[in-house]
Structure 1
Protein backbone atom coordinates (compact mmCIF):
# COMPACT_ATOMS: atom_id res chain seq x y z
CA UNK A 1 0.00 0.00 0.00
CA UNK A 2 1.28 3.44 -0.94
CA UNK A 3 0.95 6.44 1.32
CA UNK A 4 1.50 10.20 1.18
CA UNK A 5 2.39 12.20 4.28
CA UNK A 6 2.20 16.00 4.24
CA UNK A 7 4.20 17.61 7.04
CA UNK A 8 3.92 21.18 8.27
CA UNK A 9 5.70 23.10 11.01
CA UNK A 10 3.07 23.05 13.73
CA UNK A 11 0.94 25.43 15.74
CA UNK A 12 -0.23 25.98 19.30
CA UNK A 13 -3.31 23.90 20.09
CA UNK A 14 -5.02 26.93 21.60
CA UNK A 15 -4.37 30.69 21.52
CA UNK A 16 -3.36 30.85 25.17
CA UNK A 17 -0.05 31.13 27.00
CA UNK A 18 0.28 27.48 28.17
CA UNK A 19 -0.35 26.10 24.68
CA UNK A 20 2.00 28.63 23.06
CA UNK A 21 4.66 27.82 25.68
CA UNK A 22 4.46 24.10 24.88
CA UNK A 23 4.74 24.80 21.16
CA UNK A 24 7.68 27.22 21.51
CA UNK A 25 9.45 24.81 23.85
CA UNK A 26 9.56 22.17 21.12
CA UNK A 27 10.07 24.51 18.17
CA UNK A 28 12.82 26.67 19.65
CA UNK A 29 14.36 23.66 21.37
CA UNK A 30 15.17 22.00 18.05
CA UNK A 31 18.92 22.37 17.31
CA UNK A 32 18.08 22.61 13.60
CA UNK A 33 16.10 25.77 14.29
CA UNK A 34 18.50 27.41 16.74
CA UNK A 35 22.11 26.44 15.96
CA UNK A 36 24.08 27.65 18.93
CA UNK A 37 25.69 26.36 22.12
CA UNK A 38 23.00 24.12 23.60
CA UNK A 39 23.75 24.85 27.25
CA UNK A 40 23.77 28.61 26.67
CA UNK A 41 20.63 28.49 24.53
CA UNK A 42 18.79 26.24 26.99
CA UNK A 43 19.35 28.85 29.69
CA UNK A 44 18.10 31.67 27.44
CA UNK A 45 15.08 29.65 26.30
CA UNK A 46 13.95 28.62 29.76
CA UNK A 47 15.15 31.67 31.65
CA UNK A 48 14.10 34.48 29.31
CA UNK A 49 11.92 33.41 26.38
CA UNK A 50 9.48 30.85 27.75
CA UNK A 51 8.59 32.86 30.88
CA UNK A 52 7.56 35.97 28.89
CA UNK A 53 7.06 35.38 25.17
CA UNK A 54 4.10 32.93 25.28
CA UNK A 55 1.71 35.51 26.74
CA UNK A 56 2.63 38.06 24.07
CA UNK A 57 2.44 35.51 21.26
CA UNK A 58 -0.88 34.17 22.52
CA UNK A 59 -2.38 37.64 22.17
CA UNK A 60 -1.27 37.67 18.53
CA UNK A 61 -2.66 34.20 17.86
CA UNK A 62 -6.00 35.35 19.23
CA UNK A 63 -6.13 37.95 16.45
CA UNK A 64 -5.94 35.29 13.72
CA UNK A 65 -7.66 32.30 15.36
CA UNK A 66 -10.74 30.93 13.63
CA UNK A 67 -13.80 29.07 14.89
CA UNK A 68 -12.22 25.90 13.47
CA UNK A 69 -8.87 26.52 15.15
CA UNK A 70 -5.44 27.58 13.99
CA UNK A 71 -5.46 28.61 10.31
CA UNK A 72 -2.28 26.63 9.65
CA UNK A 73 -3.84 23.39 10.85
CA UNK A 74 -7.24 24.12 9.29
CA UNK A 75 -5.72 24.58 5.84
CA UNK A 76 -3.28 21.67 6.20
CA UNK A 77 -6.23 19.40 7.03
CA UNK A 78 -8.13 20.68 4.01
CA UNK A 79 -5.14 20.17 1.70
CA UNK A 80 -4.79 16.62 3.00
CA UNK A 81 -8.48 15.82 2.49
CA UNK A 82 -8.44 17.30 -1.02
CA UNK A 83 -5.33 15.35 -1.97
CA UNK A 84 -6.91 12.15 -0.71
CA UNK A 85 -9.71 12.59 -3.26
CA UNK A 86 -7.06 12.53 -6.02
CA UNK A 87 -5.64 9.14 -4.92
CA UNK A 88 -8.17 6.36 -4.33
CA UNK A 89 -5.32 3.82 -4.09
CA UNK A 90 -3.18 5.66 -1.51
CA UNK A 91 -3.53 6.70 2.11
CA UNK A 92 -2.99 10.43 2.59
CA UNK A 93 -2.33 11.90 6.03
CA UNK A 94 -0.72 14.98 7.57
CA UNK A 95 1.54 15.53 10.57
CA UNK A 96 3.21 18.41 12.36
CA UNK A 97 6.80 18.80 13.52
CA UNK A 98 6.06 20.60 16.76
CA UNK A 99 2.40 19.95 17.56
CA UNK A 100 -0.25 17.27 17.16
CA UNK A 101 -0.61 15.09 15.20
CA UNK A 102 3.06 14.31 15.72
CA UNK A 103 5.21 12.73 13.05
CA UNK A 104 5.94 9.49 14.98
CA UNK A 105 2.26 9.02 15.79
CA UNK A 106 1.16 9.35 12.16
CA UNK A 107 4.00 7.19 10.86
CA UNK A 108 2.90 4.50 13.30
CA UNK A 109 -0.71 4.79 12.15
CA UNK A 110 0.33 4.46 8.51
CA UNK A 111 2.39 1.36 9.31
CA UNK A 112 -0.65 -0.15 11.03
CA UNK A 113 -2.64 0.52 7.84
CA UNK A 114 -0.13 -1.42 5.79
CA UNK A 115 1.74 1.43 4.10
CA UNK A 116 5.00 0.02 2.77
CA UNK A 117 5.77 2.74 0.20
CA UNK A 118 5.66 6.26 1.61
CA UNK A 119 6.12 9.67 0.00
CA UNK A 120 6.85 12.44 2.48
CA UNK A 121 6.24 16.02 1.38
CA UNK A 122 7.26 18.78 3.80
CA UNK A 123 5.06 21.77 2.98
CA UNK A 124 8.02 24.13 2.54
CA UNK A 125 8.64 24.90 -1.15
CA UNK A 126 12.23 26.08 -0.60
CA UNK A 127 14.57 23.70 1.23
CA UNK A 128 16.17 24.86 4.46
CA UNK A 129 17.97 22.99 7.19
CA UNK A 130 15.65 24.76 9.64
CA UNK A 131 12.48 23.29 8.15
CA UNK A 132 12.91 20.45 5.65
CA UNK A 133 15.97 18.90 7.29
CA UNK A 134 14.34 19.25 10.71
CA UNK A 135 11.38 17.31 9.34
CA UNK A 136 13.57 14.54 7.97
CA UNK A 137 15.43 14.33 11.29
CA UNK A 138 12.17 13.35 13.00
CA UNK A 139 11.25 10.85 10.28
CA UNK A 140 14.65 9.18 10.46
CA UNK A 141 14.62 9.16 14.27
CA UNK A 142 11.32 7.25 14.20
CA UNK A 143 12.56 4.58 11.81
CA UNK A 144 15.81 4.04 13.71
CA UNK A 145 13.70 2.23 16.31
CA UNK A 146 11.48 0.25 13.93
CA UNK A 147 12.04 -3.29 12.70
CA UNK A 148 10.33 -2.57 9.38
CA UNK A 149 10.93 0.48 7.24
CA UNK A 150 8.86 1.28 4.13
CA UNK A 151 10.29 2.46 0.84
CA UNK A 152 10.72 6.17 1.55
CA UNK A 153 10.54 9.02 -0.95
CA UNK A 154 11.60 12.29 0.70
CA UNK A 155 10.70 15.43 -1.23
CA UNK A 156 13.25 18.00 -0.15
CA UNK A 157 12.12 20.95 -2.29
CA UNK A 158 9.44 21.77 -4.83
CA UNK A 159 10.28 25.40 -5.54
CA UNK A 160 11.07 24.58 -9.17
CA UNK A 161 7.96 22.50 -9.77
CA UNK A 162 6.33 24.08 -12.86
CA UNK A 163 2.82 23.94 -11.38
CA UNK A 164 3.99 25.64 -8.16
CA UNK A 165 5.80 28.34 -10.14
CA UNK A 166 2.81 28.96 -12.42
CA UNK A 167 0.33 29.06 -9.55
CA UNK A 168 2.34 31.83 -7.85
CA UNK A 169 2.72 33.68 -11.15
CA UNK A 170 -1.03 33.47 -11.79
CA UNK A 171 -1.73 35.07 -8.41
CA UNK A 172 0.63 37.92 -9.17
CA UNK A 173 -0.76 38.45 -12.67
CA UNK A 174 -4.31 38.62 -11.33
CA UNK A 175 -3.28 41.19 -8.73
CA UNK A 176 -1.39 43.33 -11.25
CA UNK A 177 -4.30 43.29 -13.71
CA UNK A 178 -6.85 44.14 -11.02
CA UNK A 179 -5.03 46.55 -8.71
CA UNK A 180 -2.03 47.86 -10.70
CA UNK A 181 0.39 48.07 -7.71
CA UNK A 182 3.59 50.08 -7.92
CA UNK A 183 5.55 47.11 -6.59
CA UNK A 184 5.19 43.38 -5.94
CA UNK A 185 7.14 42.53 -2.80
CA UNK A 186 8.31 38.91 -2.51
CA UNK A 187 8.60 38.26 1.24
CA UNK A 188 10.27 34.99 2.23
CA UNK A 189 10.71 33.72 5.78
CA UNK A 190 14.25 34.57 6.80
CA UNK A 191 17.03 32.58 8.46
CA UNK A 192 20.30 33.74 10.06
CA UNK A 193 23.10 34.68 7.67
CA UNK A 194 25.42 32.30 9.52
CA UNK A 195 23.29 29.33 8.45
CA UNK A 196 23.78 30.29 4.82
CA UNK A 197 27.53 30.70 5.31
CA UNK A 198 27.60 27.22 6.81
CA UNK A 199 25.97 25.74 3.71
CA UNK A 200 22.20 26.12 3.96
CA UNK A 201 21.05 26.72 0.35
CA UNK A 202 17.80 28.44 1.36
CA UNK A 203 18.70 31.93 0.12
CA UNK A 204 19.68 30.56 -3.29
CA UNK A 205 16.43 28.57 -3.44
CA UNK A 206 14.43 31.74 -2.71
CA UNK A 207 16.30 33.73 -5.35
CA UNK A 208 15.85 30.95 -7.91
CA UNK A 209 12.14 30.70 -7.05
CA UNK A 210 11.68 34.39 -7.64
CA UNK A 211 13.51 34.24 -10.98
CA UNK A 212 11.35 31.34 -12.20
CA UNK A 213 8.14 33.06 -11.10
CA UNK A 214 9.11 36.30 -12.85
CA UNK A 215 9.84 34.36 -16.02
CA UNK A 216 6.36 32.78 -15.86
CA UNK A 217 4.53 36.10 -15.47
CA UNK A 218 2.37 37.47 -18.27
CA UNK A 219 2.60 40.95 -16.76
CA UNK A 220 5.79 42.90 -16.02
CA UNK A 221 5.49 44.49 -12.56
CA UNK A 222 8.32 46.04 -10.63
CA UNK A 223 9.42 43.54 -7.94
CA UNK A 224 11.68 43.25 -4.92
CA UNK A 225 12.76 40.31 -2.72
CA UNK A 226 12.87 40.65 1.07
CA UNK A 227 12.98 38.43 4.16
CA UNK A 228 10.74 38.51 7.22
CA UNK A 229 10.31 37.11 10.74
CA UNK A 230 13.74 37.93 12.17
CA UNK A 231 14.30 36.38 15.61
CA UNK A 232 17.15 37.14 18.00
CA UNK A 233 20.12 39.46 17.66
CA UNK A 234 22.21 37.68 15.04
CA UNK A 235 22.22 39.10 11.49
CA UNK A 236 19.52 37.58 9.28
CA UNK A 237 19.06 37.51 5.54
CA UNK A 238 18.04 40.88 4.19
CA UNK A 239 16.73 43.25 3.23
CA UNK A 240 14.09 42.96 5.94
CA UNK A 241 10.45 43.10 4.87
CA UNK A 242 9.35 45.43 7.65
CA UNK A 243 12.15 47.96 7.14
CA UNK A 244 11.61 47.90 3.39
CA UNK A 245 7.91 48.64 3.75
CA UNK A 246 8.69 51.57 6.04
CA UNK A 247 10.95 53.05 3.36
CA UNK A 248 8.95 52.40 0.20
CA UNK A 249 6.48 55.32 0.39
CA UNK A 250 9.33 57.85 0.54
CA UNK A 251 10.71 56.24 -2.63
CA UNK A 252 7.41 56.82 -4.42
CA UNK A 253 5.87 53.38 -3.91
CA UNK A 254 2.35 54.13 -2.69
CA UNK A 255 0.62 50.92 -3.81
CA UNK A 256 2.25 47.64 -2.83
CA UNK A 257 1.20 44.00 -3.07
CA UNK A 258 2.99 41.43 -0.91
CA UNK A 259 3.30 37.73 -1.70
CA UNK A 260 4.96 35.13 0.56
CA UNK A 261 6.05 32.20 -1.63
CA UNK A 262 7.61 30.23 1.24
CA UNK A 263 4.22 29.79 2.94
CA UNK A 264 1.66 27.31 1.60
CA UNK A 265 -0.96 28.09 4.27
CA UNK A 266 -1.93 31.20 6.18
CA UNK A 267 -0.42 31.41 9.65
CA UNK A 268 0.76 33.98 12.19
CA UNK A 269 3.51 35.17 9.84
CA UNK A 270 1.12 35.93 6.98
CA UNK A 271 -2.09 36.93 8.74
CA UNK A 272 -0.59 38.99 11.56
CA UNK A 273 3.04 39.84 10.75
CA UNK A 274 2.48 40.71 7.09
CA UNK A 275 -1.18 41.64 6.73
CA UNK A 276 -1.56 43.52 10.02
CA UNK A 277 1.80 44.63 11.42
CA UNK A 278 3.61 45.31 8.14
CA UNK A 279 0.52 46.86 6.59
CA UNK A 280 0.53 49.32 9.51
CA UNK A 281 4.21 50.17 8.93
CA UNK A 282 3.59 50.85 5.24
CA UNK A 283 0.50 52.99 5.80
CA UNK A 284 2.08 54.91 8.68
CA UNK A 285 4.98 55.80 6.37
CA UNK A 286 2.60 57.22 3.75
CA UNK A 287 1.60 54.16 1.77
CA UNK A 288 -1.88 54.36 0.26
CA UNK A 289 -2.80 50.82 -0.74
CA UNK A 290 -1.48 47.56 0.75
CA UNK A 291 -2.58 44.20 -0.67
CA UNK A 292 -1.67 40.83 0.82
CA UNK A 293 -1.76 38.07 -1.79
CA UNK A 294 -2.87 35.05 0.22
CA UNK A 295 -0.98 31.74 0.26
CA UNK A 296 -2.51 28.70 -1.43
CA UNK A 297 -4.59 27.62 1.59
CA UNK A 298 -7.34 25.33 0.27
CA UNK A 299 -7.11 26.36 -3.39
CA UNK A 300 -7.31 23.53 -5.90
CA UNK A 301 -4.21 24.67 -7.76
CA UNK A 302 -2.04 23.74 -4.77
CA UNK A 303 -3.66 20.31 -4.63
CA UNK A 304 -2.65 20.04 -8.29
CA UNK A 305 0.93 20.78 -7.23
CA UNK A 306 0.86 18.12 -4.51
CA UNK A 307 -0.72 15.58 -6.83
CA UNK A 308 1.94 16.29 -9.44
CA UNK A 309 4.74 15.82 -6.91
CA UNK A 310 3.34 12.61 -5.44
CA UNK A 311 2.53 11.06 -8.82
CA UNK A 312 6.23 10.68 -9.56
CA UNK A 313 6.52 7.94 -6.92
Structure 2
Protein backbone atom coordinates (compact mmCIF):
# COMPACT_ATOMS: atom_id res chain seq x y z
CA UNK A 1 0.00 0.00 0.00
CA UNK A 2 1.39 3.39 -1.04
CA UNK A 3 0.16 6.23 1.13
CA UNK A 4 -0.29 9.90 0.36
CA UNK A 5 -1.36 13.10 2.13
CA UNK A 6 -2.72 16.21 0.45
CA UNK A 7 -3.03 19.50 2.34
CA UNK A 8 -5.40 21.98 0.67
CA UNK A 9 -5.76 25.70 1.33
CA UNK A 10 -7.67 28.48 -0.40
CA UNK A 11 -5.13 30.02 -2.75
CA UNK A 12 -3.30 33.25 -3.48
CA UNK A 13 -2.49 35.53 -6.40
CA UNK A 14 0.79 34.62 -8.09
CA UNK A 15 2.01 38.16 -7.48
CA UNK A 16 0.68 41.38 -5.89
CA UNK A 17 -0.34 42.86 -9.25
CA UNK A 18 -3.80 43.74 -10.61
CA UNK A 19 -3.46 41.17 -13.41
CA UNK A 20 -2.59 38.32 -11.05
CA UNK A 21 -5.22 39.34 -8.52
CA UNK A 22 -7.88 39.55 -11.24
CA UNK A 23 -7.09 36.01 -12.38
CA UNK A 24 -7.28 34.72 -8.80
CA UNK A 25 -10.49 36.58 -7.94
CA UNK A 26 -12.25 35.47 -11.12
CA UNK A 27 -11.65 31.83 -10.24
CA UNK A 28 -12.48 32.28 -6.55
CA UNK A 29 -15.62 34.36 -7.03
CA UNK A 30 -16.93 32.10 -9.81
CA UNK A 31 -17.26 29.20 -7.35
CA UNK A 32 -20.97 28.76 -6.67
CA UNK A 33 -20.15 27.33 -3.24
CA UNK A 34 -18.64 30.75 -2.42
CA UNK A 35 -21.27 32.89 -4.14
CA UNK A 36 -24.64 31.20 -3.78
CA UNK A 37 -26.26 32.76 -6.82
CA UNK A 38 -27.18 31.44 -10.29
CA UNK A 39 -24.30 31.89 -12.71
CA UNK A 40 -26.46 33.78 -15.24
CA UNK A 41 -27.22 36.37 -12.56
CA UNK A 42 -23.82 36.57 -10.84
CA UNK A 43 -21.35 36.48 -13.73
CA UNK A 44 -22.47 39.82 -15.28
CA UNK A 45 -22.11 41.44 -11.84
CA UNK A 46 -18.68 39.87 -11.37
CA UNK A 47 -17.41 40.82 -14.82
CA UNK A 48 -18.81 44.36 -15.04
CA UNK A 49 -18.88 45.64 -11.45
CA UNK A 50 -16.21 43.76 -9.49
CA UNK A 51 -13.36 42.57 -11.70
CA UNK A 52 -12.81 45.92 -13.46
CA UNK A 53 -12.19 47.69 -10.11
CA UNK A 54 -11.44 45.38 -7.16
CA UNK A 55 -8.15 43.78 -8.42
CA UNK A 56 -6.23 47.08 -8.34
CA UNK A 57 -7.39 47.81 -4.79
CA UNK A 58 -6.68 44.27 -3.60
CA UNK A 59 -3.26 44.25 -5.29
CA UNK A 60 -2.22 47.24 -3.18
CA UNK A 61 -3.26 45.37 -0.01
CA UNK A 62 -1.32 42.28 -1.09
CA UNK A 63 1.77 44.42 -1.73
CA UNK A 64 1.70 45.53 1.89
CA UNK A 65 1.91 41.94 3.22
CA UNK A 66 4.02 40.38 0.44
CA UNK A 67 7.44 39.14 1.54
CA UNK A 68 10.50 40.02 -0.55
CA UNK A 69 12.11 36.74 0.48
CA UNK A 70 9.12 34.37 0.54
CA UNK A 71 6.39 35.95 -1.59
CA UNK A 72 2.81 35.12 -0.58
CA UNK A 73 2.62 34.33 3.15
CA UNK A 74 -0.18 31.81 2.61
CA UNK A 75 1.75 29.93 -0.05
CA UNK A 76 4.97 30.06 1.96
CA UNK A 77 3.45 28.69 5.16
CA UNK A 78 1.48 26.00 3.35
CA UNK A 79 4.70 24.84 1.68
CA UNK A 80 6.39 24.79 5.09
CA UNK A 81 3.56 22.79 6.61
CA UNK A 82 3.77 20.17 3.85
CA UNK A 83 7.57 19.93 4.04
CA UNK A 84 7.58 19.53 7.81
CA UNK A 85 4.80 16.95 7.70
CA UNK A 86 6.78 15.00 5.09
CA UNK A 87 9.67 14.80 7.55
CA UNK A 88 7.35 13.41 10.23
CA UNK A 89 5.70 10.93 7.83
CA UNK A 90 8.52 9.48 5.71
CA UNK A 91 6.36 6.51 4.73
CA UNK A 92 3.82 8.87 3.11
CA UNK A 93 4.08 11.09 0.06
CA UNK A 94 2.99 14.56 1.27
CA UNK A 95 1.91 17.27 -1.15
CA UNK A 96 -0.15 20.47 -0.99
CA UNK A 97 -2.62 22.17 -3.30
CA UNK A 98 -4.75 25.29 -3.56
CA UNK A 99 -8.40 25.60 -4.56
CA UNK A 100 -7.99 28.74 -6.66
CA UNK A 101 -4.29 28.98 -7.55
CA UNK A 102 -1.30 26.81 -8.36
CA UNK A 103 -0.66 24.07 -7.54
CA UNK A 104 -4.26 23.12 -8.35
CA UNK A 105 -6.05 20.23 -6.65
CA UNK A 106 -6.52 18.24 -9.87
CA UNK A 107 -2.82 18.60 -10.72
CA UNK A 108 -1.73 17.15 -7.39
CA UNK A 109 -4.32 14.36 -7.47
CA UNK A 110 -3.00 13.38 -10.90
CA UNK A 111 0.53 13.19 -9.49
CA UNK A 112 -0.68 10.85 -6.76
CA UNK A 113 -2.36 8.78 -9.46
CA UNK A 114 0.83 8.63 -11.54
CA UNK A 115 2.75 7.56 -8.42
CA UNK A 116 0.20 4.79 -7.84
CA UNK A 117 -0.87 6.03 -4.41
CA UNK A 118 -3.51 3.61 -3.12
CA UNK A 119 -4.35 5.26 0.24
CA UNK A 120 -4.90 9.02 0.31
CA UNK A 121 -5.69 11.32 3.24
CA UNK A 122 -6.87 14.80 2.28
CA UNK A 123 -6.90 17.63 4.82
CA UNK A 124 -8.63 20.88 3.83
CA UNK A 125 -6.85 23.42 6.04
CA UNK A 126 -10.04 24.82 7.55
CA UNK A 127 -10.64 23.78 11.16
CA UNK A 128 -14.35 24.63 10.98
CA UNK A 129 -16.40 23.01 8.22
CA UNK A 130 -18.29 25.25 5.81
CA UNK A 131 -19.88 24.54 2.47
CA UNK A 132 -17.93 27.56 1.16
CA UNK A 133 -14.55 25.98 1.93
CA UNK A 134 -14.52 22.26 2.65
CA UNK A 135 -17.64 21.72 0.54
CA UNK A 136 -15.89 23.30 -2.43
CA UNK A 137 -12.80 21.13 -1.89
CA UNK A 138 -14.92 17.97 -1.87
CA UNK A 139 -16.53 19.12 -5.14
CA UNK A 140 -13.09 19.37 -6.74
CA UNK A 141 -12.12 15.92 -5.48
CA UNK A 142 -15.34 14.39 -6.77
CA UNK A 143 -14.91 16.06 -10.16
CA UNK A 144 -11.42 14.59 -10.48
CA UNK A 145 -12.44 11.03 -9.62
CA UNK A 146 -15.73 11.04 -11.54
CA UNK A 147 -15.53 8.11 -13.99
CA UNK A 148 -11.88 7.50 -13.08
CA UNK A 149 -10.94 3.87 -13.66
CA UNK A 150 -9.12 3.53 -10.34
CA UNK A 151 -9.86 5.44 -7.16
CA UNK A 152 -7.63 5.17 -4.07
CA UNK A 153 -8.92 4.63 -0.56
CA UNK A 154 -9.93 8.20 0.26
CA UNK A 155 -10.20 9.80 3.68
CA UNK A 156 -11.17 13.46 3.82
CA UNK A 157 -10.82 15.31 7.13
CA UNK A 158 -13.79 17.64 6.76
CA UNK A 159 -13.41 19.38 10.14
CA UNK A 160 -10.95 19.36 13.02
CA UNK A 161 -12.11 22.21 15.26
CA UNK A 162 -12.86 19.83 18.14
CA UNK A 163 -9.69 17.76 17.65
CA UNK A 164 -8.01 17.95 21.04
CA UNK A 165 -4.39 18.32 19.76
CA UNK A 166 -5.47 21.30 17.60
CA UNK A 167 -7.23 22.99 20.53
CA UNK A 168 -4.23 22.41 22.81
CA UNK A 169 -1.74 23.72 20.23
CA UNK A 170 -3.72 26.89 19.57
CA UNK A 171 -4.48 27.45 23.25
CA UNK A 172 -0.79 27.14 24.14
CA UNK A 173 0.07 29.80 21.58
CA UNK A 174 -2.67 32.10 22.88
CA UNK A 175 -1.56 31.55 26.47
CA UNK A 176 1.99 32.64 25.64
CA UNK A 177 0.62 35.91 24.25
CA UNK A 178 -1.67 36.42 27.24
CA UNK A 179 1.28 36.03 29.61
CA UNK A 180 3.46 38.40 27.62
CA UNK A 181 0.91 41.00 26.54
CA UNK A 182 -1.51 41.00 29.51
CA UNK A 183 -4.65 42.04 27.60
CA UNK A 184 -7.87 43.21 29.20
CA UNK A 185 -9.94 41.72 26.33
CA UNK A 186 -9.51 38.72 24.02
CA UNK A 187 -11.26 38.69 20.63
CA UNK A 188 -11.74 35.51 18.60
CA UNK A 189 -12.28 36.72 15.03
CA UNK A 190 -13.51 34.08 12.56
CA UNK A 191 -13.93 34.49 8.82
CA UNK A 192 -17.58 35.25 8.25
CA UNK A 193 -20.14 33.80 5.84
CA UNK A 194 -23.58 35.10 4.80
CA UNK A 195 -26.28 34.36 7.36
CA UNK A 196 -28.40 32.78 4.63
CA UNK A 197 -25.87 29.94 4.28
CA UNK A 198 -26.37 29.03 7.94
CA UNK A 199 -30.14 29.20 7.50
CA UNK A 200 -29.81 26.64 4.69
CA UNK A 201 -27.92 24.27 6.97
CA UNK A 202 -24.24 25.22 6.87
CA UNK A 203 -22.90 24.23 10.34
CA UNK A 204 -20.06 26.76 10.23
CA UNK A 205 -21.42 29.08 12.91
CA UNK A 206 -21.94 26.16 15.30
CA UNK A 207 -18.42 24.88 14.60
CA UNK A 208 -16.96 28.32 15.35
CA UNK A 209 -18.90 28.45 18.61
CA UNK A 210 -17.59 24.97 19.46
CA UNK A 211 -14.02 26.15 18.85
CA UNK A 212 -14.51 29.15 21.13
CA UNK A 213 -16.05 27.00 23.86
CA UNK A 214 -13.18 24.49 23.77
CA UNK A 215 -10.49 27.17 23.69
CA UNK A 216 -12.14 29.03 26.55
CA UNK A 217 -12.12 25.83 28.64
CA UNK A 218 -8.49 25.06 27.75
CA UNK A 219 -7.30 28.59 28.53
CA UNK A 220 -9.26 28.84 31.78
CA UNK A 221 -8.67 32.60 31.94
CA UNK A 222 -10.67 35.30 33.67
CA UNK A 223 -9.98 37.73 30.83
CA UNK A 224 -13.25 38.28 28.91
CA UNK A 225 -13.47 36.61 25.50
CA UNK A 226 -15.68 37.79 22.64
CA UNK A 227 -16.40 35.96 19.37
CA UNK A 228 -16.78 37.98 16.17
CA UNK A 229 -16.75 37.56 12.38
CA UNK A 230 -14.70 39.38 9.74
CA UNK A 231 -14.31 39.74 5.97
CA UNK A 232 -17.82 40.81 4.93
CA UNK A 233 -18.33 40.94 1.16
CA UNK A 234 -21.37 42.16 -0.76
CA UNK A 235 -24.77 43.46 0.40
CA UNK A 236 -26.08 40.30 2.10
CA UNK A 237 -26.38 40.02 5.88
CA UNK A 238 -23.37 38.19 7.33
CA UNK A 239 -22.83 36.53 10.68
CA UNK A 240 -22.56 38.96 13.58
CA UNK A 241 -21.14 40.58 15.61
CA UNK A 242 -18.69 42.07 13.13
CA UNK A 243 -15.02 42.27 14.12
CA UNK A 244 -14.49 45.81 12.86
CA UNK A 245 -17.57 47.25 14.60
CA UNK A 246 -16.69 45.45 17.83
CA UNK A 247 -13.15 46.84 17.86
CA UNK A 248 -14.48 50.36 17.30
CA UNK A 249 -16.74 49.99 20.34
CA UNK A 250 -14.43 48.22 22.80
CA UNK A 251 -12.38 51.25 24.01
CA UNK A 252 -15.52 53.13 25.08
CA UNK A 253 -16.49 50.08 27.14
CA UNK A 254 -13.18 50.12 28.99
CA UNK A 255 -11.12 47.65 26.94
CA UNK A 256 -7.82 49.35 26.09
CA UNK A 257 -5.54 46.34 25.45
CA UNK A 258 -6.99 43.78 23.06
CA UNK A 259 -5.52 40.44 22.01
CA UNK A 260 -6.95 39.20 18.70
CA UNK A 261 -6.98 35.55 17.65
CA UNK A 262 -8.07 34.21 14.24
CA UNK A 263 -8.97 30.54 14.88
CA UNK A 264 -10.32 29.87 11.38
CA UNK A 265 -6.91 30.52 9.78
CA UNK A 266 -4.04 28.03 10.15
CA UNK A 267 -1.71 30.14 7.98
CA UNK A 268 -1.29 33.90 7.96
CA UNK A 269 -2.69 35.61 4.87
CA UNK A 270 -4.32 38.83 3.67
CA UNK A 271 -7.22 38.44 6.12
CA UNK A 272 -4.92 38.20 9.15
CA UNK A 273 -1.88 40.29 8.21
CA UNK A 274 -3.76 43.17 6.60
CA UNK A 275 -7.45 43.07 7.48
CA UNK A 276 -6.82 42.34 11.16
CA UNK A 277 -3.32 43.58 11.93
CA UNK A 278 -3.48 46.78 9.86
CA UNK A 279 -7.11 47.79 9.18
CA UNK A 280 -8.75 46.59 12.39
CA UNK A 281 -5.79 47.65 14.52
CA UNK A 282 -6.36 51.18 13.23
CA UNK A 283 -10.09 51.03 14.03
CA UNK A 284 -9.27 50.08 17.61
CA UNK A 285 -6.52 52.65 18.15
CA UNK A 286 -8.38 55.52 16.47
CA UNK A 287 -11.37 54.91 18.75
CA UNK A 288 -9.35 55.15 21.96
CA UNK A 289 -7.65 51.77 22.23
CA UNK A 290 -4.11 51.81 23.61
CA UNK A 291 -2.53 48.55 22.45
CA UNK A 292 -3.51 45.85 19.97
CA UNK A 293 -1.82 42.52 19.40
CA UNK A 294 -2.63 39.80 16.85
CA UNK A 295 -1.71 36.23 17.73
CA UNK A 296 0.09 34.79 14.67
CA UNK A 297 -1.57 31.80 13.01
CA UNK A 298 -0.14 28.37 13.79
CA UNK A 299 1.76 28.61 10.49
CA UNK A 300 4.84 26.36 10.53
CA UNK A 301 4.85 25.84 14.31
CA UNK A 302 6.11 22.37 15.18
CA UNK A 303 3.06 21.89 17.41
CA UNK A 304 0.75 22.27 14.40
CA UNK A 305 2.81 19.91 12.26
CA UNK A 306 2.26 17.36 15.01
CA UNK A 307 -1.49 18.08 14.86
CA UNK A 308 -1.46 17.32 11.12
CA UNK A 309 0.50 14.11 11.75
CA UNK A 310 -2.06 13.01 14.33
CA UNK A 311 -4.91 13.79 11.94
CA UNK A 312 -3.31 11.68 9.22
CA UNK A 313 -2.69 8.77 11.58
CA UNK A 314 -6.11 9.26 13.23
CA UNK A 315 -4.50 9.62 16.66
CA UNK A 316 -6.45 11.42 19.37
Shorter-chain TM-score range: over 0.9
CA distance in 2, matches of 1:86, 1:111: 22
Q: State the match for 1:75 in structure 2.
A: 77
1:312 deviates by: 1.9
1:87-136 CA distances to partner (integer Å, 9 max, x unpaired)? 11110000000000000000001111121110000000000000001001
CA distance in 1, matches of 2:144, 2:58: 30
1:37 deviates by: 2.5
Q: Does structure 2 conserve the Cα–Cα contact (< 8 Å) formed by 1:173 and 1:219?
A: no
Q: State the match for 1:139 in structure 2.
A: 141
Matched ranges for 1:24-35 at <5 A: 24-35=25-36
CA distance in 2, matches of 1:312, 1:270: 29
Q: State the match for 1:54 in structure 2.
A: 55
CA distance in 1, matches of 2:45, 2:113: 39
- Does 2:287 align with 1:285? yes
Q: State the match for 2:297 in structure 1.
A: 295
CA RMSD, 1 decimal: 0.9
Q: Does structure 2 conserve the Cα–Cα contact (< 8 Å) formed by 1:176 and 1:221?
A: no
1:149-201 CA distances to partner (integer Å, 9 max, x unpaired)? 10100110000111110112112221222221011000000000000000000
1:40 deviates by: 1.3
Q: 2:127 aligns with which of 125, 128, 137?
A: 125
CA distance in 2, matches of 1:178, 1:105: 44
Matched ranges for 1:1-313 at <5 A: 1-67=2-68, 68-312=70-314
Which consecutive segments of 4 or more residues in structure 1 shift more than 4 A? none
CA distance in 1, matches of 2:209, 2:314: 26
1:51 aligned counterpart, secondary structure: coil
CA distance in 2, matches of 1:271, 1:13: 17
1:218 deviates by: 4.3
How many residue pairs match? The answer is: 313
Question: CA 1:210–1:69 in 2, change beyond 3 Å: closer, same or farther?
Answer: same
1:257-282 CA distances to partner (integer Å, 9 max, x unpaired)? 00000000000000000000000000
Q: Does structure 2 conserve the Cα–Cα contact (< 8 Å) formed by 1:173 and 1:218?
A: no
Q: Does structure 2 conserve the Cα–Cα contact (< 8 Å) formed by 1:2 and 1:118?
A: yes
1:235-267 CA distances to partner (integer Å, 9 max, x unpaired)? 000000000000100111000000000000000
Given the two structures, how large is their TM-score scaled by the length of structure 1? 0.99
* Deviates further, 168-177 or 132-141: 168-177
Structure 1: which 5+ residue stretches go unaligned? none
